[in-house]
Chains A and B, each alone.
Chain A
Amino acid sequence: MTRFFSEDHEWIEVEGDLGTVGITDYAQGQLGDITFVELPAEGSTVGKGDSVSVVDSVKAASDVYTPVSGTVAEVNGALADAPELVNTQAETGGWLFRVTLSDAAELGALMDDAAYKSYVESL
């Protein structure tokens, strides 16, 4: 399994052609208390960079962009009753959706863990 990061603060963990997407711990810290997560429809086709999900915090709503193209295979149903999982477990149990990749080459444009860390430090 390999984990990649986007400049928009999404993470994607890839196993075979299936990627699990969430927002990073840094991102949840910036957003504050998350009160609602709007998820994409299972089976929908998404293109890299599309706004496919919205994370609502007490103060604002924020778009989440898919870091890869593909088809939405599954969404995290636990977030309907417990959106705060995105705060408490941003990079584990607070994942947002799984996508079946249509172009694995897109992963090449993303950062690895070390690169993302230094990216965040530069902000």
Chain B
Amino acid sequence: MSEYPVTPDEDEAEDLAPLTLPLDAWHREQGGRMVEFAGYMMPVQYEGIMAEHLWTRENAGLFDVSHMGQVYVSSEDGITADLEAAIETALPIDLSTLKLGAVRYSLLLDEEGGILDDLMVTRWKTGFYLVVNGATKWDDIGTLRELLADEVTLNHLDESALLALQGPKAFAALERHAKGEYPLSALTFMKGGQFTLGGVDAWISRSGYTGEDGFEISIPGEAAEDISRLLCGEPEVKPIGLGARDSLRLEAGLPLYGHDLSPETSAVDADLKFAVNKRRRTEGGFPGAERVIADFTDGTARRRIGLTLEGRMAAREGAKVFNGDQEVGIVTSGGFSPSLQHPIAMAYVDAALVAPGTALTIEMRGKRLDATVAAMPFVPHRYHR
């Protein structure tokens, strides 16, 4: 038997020996199967992807996402008009509408409007907190350093671990341990605040990558094991690996950088218009603005869509999409949906074929699989707004 890797381009970027993260020993103790991902040894699964996926949808799962890049952007004088202007030069975000503690999805674009990464931006009291993808974080830091004025300070918070607690019972489990100026219930979707967990300072935001209610938790790396034990000591919580993280985000219709997003995709064809904030669509002033604004006006030749498949055979990344005999697109993510019990996929197809219900086929191993364009998310989001 030989296995086709799910994430080939995550791995090939790193020729160096994989690094370990603060929870490495804990994952192994929990029975995690460790694989190389984005240059780090990470748990792909514990008891099995299917069981972990369904557990997260019904209870709560703890994910270690410490491979992701946490970056603090600040200036000597705190948050100033100059600091905000500098960040807006680098990202298509409108910081005037980003309140204290609010989290917003944004994109790092190249000069042609191609997507270099997707990221989260949060307003802290004295600066901005960014979370970027693990495989791209070194390039991102370099790109941001070039784009931001010299007066802007970039700190890579590489001593911090990042956990995600996701699922309908995440709140109940976390509330027992989160202490702060206000209760955890004060956080709604895409809002964060400073708390302590087991006596340890933690930045907690109500956000995540599964489509479920849940939290992302930034803590000092040296406290990661204690906090993980604390949370997994709750009856609702089990550790969940990267395998289920991928199947959960696919069901939630959330794109994965390096697969569904790349420098060859743009905000509009990736169906991420919301990541270019309204004021910026007319004002521009960010990398690739000319192309992005033109895309808003003229539309794009293709668009990211969801597909549901007949049968049980999954379409995988790279599979060609057809309309009759005509090749009309390519699959960028695909797999079997544990919640829906049939295969689903994301693909880029001709803009004329994006209407839900459109019948297409996908070529896999010499066969043509019947597929239908579906609205995303495939599984409804259950965010706490």
Beta-carbon contacts under 8 Å, B314-351 to A: 314, 316, 335-336, 338, 343
Report A-chain residues with C-beta under 8 Å of the C-beta of B48: 32-33
Report A-chain residues with C-beta under 8 Å of the C-beta of B335: 58-59
Cα A60 to Cα B247 with chains together (Å): 11
Is B313 a contact partner of A59 (Cβ separation < 8 A)? Answer: no
Residue of A nearest to B50 (CB): A33
Cβ-based interface call for B125 (8 A): no
Chain B: minimal CB distance from A94 (Å): 14
Contacting residue for A63 out of B2, B44, B50, CB 8 A: B2
Given A58-B243, A59-B246, A61-B316, A36-B1 contact (CB < 8 Å): no
Is A83 a contact partner of B312 (Cβ separation < 8 A)? Answer: yes
Cβ-based interface call for B235 (8 A): no
Report B-chain residues with C-beta under 8 Å of the C-beta of A60: 3-6, 316
Chain B: minimal CB distance from A110 (Å): 15
Chain A: minimal CB distance from B210 (Å): 15
Given A36-B314, A36-B336, A83-B312, A62-B1 contact (CB < 8 Å): yes
Contacting residue for A59 out of B49, B311, B343, B365, CB 8 A: B49
Report B-chain residues with C-beta under 8 Å of the C-beta of A27: 1
Beta-carbon contacts under 8 Å, A1-33 to B: 8-10, 23, 27, 30-33
Is A62 a contact partner of B2 (Cβ separation < 8 A)? Answer: yes
Main secondary structure on A side of the interface with B: strand
Is B50 a contact partner of A62 (Cβ separation < 8 A)? Answer: no
Is B4 a contact partner of A62 (Cβ separation < 8 A)? Answer: yes
Cα A23 to Cα B5 with chains together (Å): 19
Is A62 a contact partner of B3 (Cβ separation < 8 A)? Answer: yes
Can you sample 26 A-B contacts with CB below 8 Å? A9-B1, A23-B1, A30-B3, A32-B45, A32-B49, A32-B50, A32-B243, A38-B313, A54-B365, A56-B313, A58-B50, A58-B53, A58-B243, A58-B247, A59-B44, A59-B49, A59-B246, A59-B335, A60-B3, A60-B5, A60-B6, A61-B4, A62-B1, A62-B2, A63-B1, A65-B1
